[in-house]
Structure 1
Amino acid sequence: MRAVVVDAVRAQPQVREVQAPTAPPGGVVVEVAATGLCRSDWHAWAGHDEIAFPHVPGHELAGVVTQVGDGVRRWSVGDRVTVPFVCGCGRCEWCLAGDAQVCPHQEQPGFTHWGSFAEQVALHAADTNLVAVPDAVDLATAASLGCRFATAYRALVARARVRDGEWVTVVGAGGVGLSSVMIAKALGARVVAVDRNPQALEAAKALGADHTVEAGDTSSSGDTDVPALVAELTGGGSHVSVDAVGSEQTCAQAIRGLRRRGRHVQVGLLPPVSGHPRVPMDRVIAWELDVLGSHGMAAGDYPGMLQLIEQGRLQPQRLVERTVGLEEAAALLPGFDRAAVAGITVIDPSR
């Protein structure tokens, strides 16, 4: 099969023929119809994750089951499926409690094993991790759910528990951030979107953001005082903040933009910078802020989200900005941390 292959940390990805996968015991092989190009894939390429080379990236996917391994009970060849980017083992106490997203034995396509920037991908513990894609949801839309949209959904619904009428600040208007804007509005919240990219802020506004803040260009020093602007727009700070980028600066901006006793959800990955990134814990303590991590969403939590999509209350298809082939994906990956993309890039391996 054709796949995007990375041979070493920060090596230029190449598209070439590789051995097609076989279904592992308890798992399946899926013919990839669509897979998302995500900042997390860039983190793996850049060496921020422990992966074995040569490596095939890709963790947001949807497609059709083509092989079924021994022991799989719930799935058959021809089923249309997607999968969370965190695949639980299905046996530990966390998986049995429905929290596969924190499984200590988890598998992650594109990280712990070859991923979905390919024509086919192997997936483990299918009965625990696979999610049926309803006929009303196209596979490109389903692929966009696996990391960014599902992560944003769980971050706001299950972790921050956003309530009607609350203010939510979303720092970063890429795939996760725009997903957060859409979901927060569906929950009845008021939203402030923050980004350096005017195009991304326009996309956030189109999705219902009540206010947008263009970071980095409104003061004499060249840097926007984002927390001060958020406090002004929201009457004292947001109830909930989301860092959808994952940097020391964006994390601090999001936390400092909260009102007293607010809740912060860290979704963007925070790679070490001179050790561990600094977090404004003085503010966290003095204002009794809640700082919450959110790591994907287990397959068992998908039905509620999919129901909202089928009802039209959530429209993740609006977040898909462009579709590319494997060759273009290989060229885009090394610079994806700097890409001015307002939305989700989807890869179609058949192109």
Structure 2
Amino acid sequence: MKALVIEEPNVAVVKEVPYPKPGAGGVTIKVENVGICGTDVHIFKGEFISPYPIIPGHEFSGVVHEVGENVTNVKVGDRVTADPSLFCGKCQYCLTHRGNQCENWGALGNTVSGSMAEFVSVPSENVVKLPDSLSFEVAAFIEPMACVVHGMNRLQLQVGDRVALFGAGAMGQQLVQSLKMAGASELVVIDISQKKLDMAINRGATKGVLSQDIAQLKEEYPHGFDVVVDATGIPQVIEQALEFMGPTAKYLQFGVTAEDANISISPFKLYNKDWTIIGSMAINHTFLPAFHWVKEGRIELESLVSKTLTLEETVEFFHSNRDPDLLKVQIKI
């Protein structure tokens, strides 16, 4: 089969690799759509925990092509997606509902071969059948939405909280809708793209601010916000975002940074202002809740796809500079 393989940092090729035949309890899926995640870009650049060579891709949809022994929950021809999480289920973290901190953590496209290929093999218990009403394009958003659900569970937003969100890309747009539904009052979004800010306002943000006008925002909100969320993963932006935390504020680090990135923070302010700093790593048993949210149309996703590429075009995309107006890019296999 054909697959995109990152052979080492900054080296990606499309080539023939062995077909992933399912083992007992496994399912092989013919991939239809794959979303390109910021984590995939970090893997390409050598900034994540992934081994090499690796087939990336962890947000996808497709059709069951083959099932292994003892598989009863799906059959050949079913339209599906799958939770890419590979938790051991036995360590102290898995046994205390903290699977995303599993001592043997793994995930499709992160630690083992993923979905930027014609076929991908997954454990049958990870597979979720799709209703006919859900397109392959939208179904490929269930995984990123599962990350959003985990982040929202970690944040525990209070109804009426005033929120500042840095980053209005595809993930930012999903966060805007989720924060609105969770009860945010003021929801100010900051980004470098006016087009993205306009979209965020249409989805529930109360104000959009261009990054170049951030000083003006500081004057408008001298006491900061109740909640600050970063969806960029850019250290300089993160340090800037921390400056908008008001007394007793919560900060959510949602965006993925390079593994060796560092920021500066005032420990006195952390102490003196009663701040809460929260991380949000991937998915933590939130794939099914995200599926239900998407299935019921609670989050508008279809218009977030800016571009669809082939596997070959994806190699070039990894090397290219990002258009600031670009939202989600998907691969059509």
TM-score normalized with structure 2 length: 0.90
CA distance in 1, matches of 2:40, 2:252: 21
| Counterparts in 2 of 1:81 and 1:330: CA distance versus 1, 3 Å | same
Q: Deviations over 1:17-48 (max 9, x none)?
A: 22211224433221111110111111001111
The residue aligned with 1:221 is: none
| Counterparts in 2 of 1:179 and 1:8: CA distance versus 1, 3 Å | same
RMSD over aligned Cα atoms: 2.4
What is the CA distance between 1:52 and its match in structure 2? Answer: 3.5
CA distance in 2, matches of 1:19, 1:165: 53
| Counterparts in 2 of 1:141 and 1:317: CA distance versus 1, 3 Å | same
Contact 2:25 2:124 in 1 (8 A): yes
| Counterparts in 2 of 1:153 and 1:341: CA distance versus 1, 3 Å | farther
Alignment of 1:252-263 (within 5 A): 252-263=239-250
Contact 1:66 1:78 in 2 (8 A): yes
What is the CA distance between 1:93 and its match in structure 2? Answer: 4.4
Contact 2:149 2:289 in 1 (8 A): no
CA distance in 2, matches of 1:112, 1:303: 22
CA distance in 2, matches of 1:113, 1:310: 28
Contact 1:28 1:69 in 2 (8 A): yes
What is the CA distance between 1:333 and its match in structure 2? Answer: 1.5
| AA aligned opposite 2:306 | E
The residue aligned with 2:313 is: 328
Contact 1:29 1:65 in 2 (8 A): yes
What is the CA distance between 1:98 and its match in structure 2? Answer: 4.2
Q: Deviations over 1:56-103 (max 9, x none)?
A: 221111112222234545333333322334332334444455443222
Q: Deviations over 1:286-322 (max 9, x none)?
A: 21111111112244x3343333333333222232222
The residue aligned with 1:89 is: 88
Paired positions, count: 332
| AA aligned opposite 1:343 | L
CA distance in 2, matches of 1:200, 1:14: 31
| AA aligned opposite 2:7 | D
1:347 paired to 2:328: no
What is the CA distance between 1:176 and its match in structure 2? Answer: 1.5
SS of 1:104's partner is coil
The residue aligned with 1:126 is: 124
The residue aligned with 1:317 is: 302
The residue aligned with 1:176 is: 171
CA distance in 2, matches of 1:340, 1:182: 21
Contact 2:238 2:263 in 1 (8 A): no
The residue aligned with 1:285 is: 271
The residue aligned with 1:163 is: 158
1:143 paired to 2:128: no
CA distance in 1, matches of 2:205, 2:98: 31
Contact 1:231 1:258 in 2 (8 A): no
| Counterparts in 2 of 1:115 and 1:230: CA distance versus 1, 3 Å | farther
SS of 2:8's partner is coil
Q: Deviations over 1:112-160 (max 9, x none)?
A: 112111111122x432x3333333322211112213x22122212x111
- Gaps in structure 2 of 5+ consecutive residues: none
Contact 2:143 2:287 in 1 (8 A): no
| Counterparts in 2 of 1:71 and 1:107: CA distance versus 1, 3 Å | farther
1:195 paired to 2:191: yes
CA distance in 2, matches of 1:270, 1:281: 21
CA distance in 2, matches of 1:96, 1:193: 37
Q: Deviations over 1:146-203 (max 9, x none)?
A: 13x22122212x1111233222211111122111111111223131111112222222
Q: Return the structure number with greater strand share.
A: 2
| Counterparts in 2 of 1:231 and 1:28: CA distance versus 1, 3 Å | farther
Q: Deviations over 1:247-279 (max 9, x none)?
A: 222222222212211111111122255x74334
The residue aligned with 1:53 is: 52
CA distance in 1, matches of 2:305, 2:266: 34
| AA aligned opposite 1:126 | S
SS of 1:229's partner is helix
CA distance in 1, matches of 2:157, 2:316: 38
| Counterparts in 2 of 1:312 and 1:210: CA distance versus 1, 3 Å | same
CA distance in 1, matches of 2:23, 2:15: 23
CA distance in 2, matches of 1:266, 1:155: 9
1:110 paired to 2:109: yes
Contact 1:141 1:320 in 2 (8 A): no
SS of 1:246's partner is coil
Contact 2:48 2:259 in 1 (8 A): no
| Counterparts in 2 of 1:247 and 1:279: CA distance versus 1, 3 Å | farther
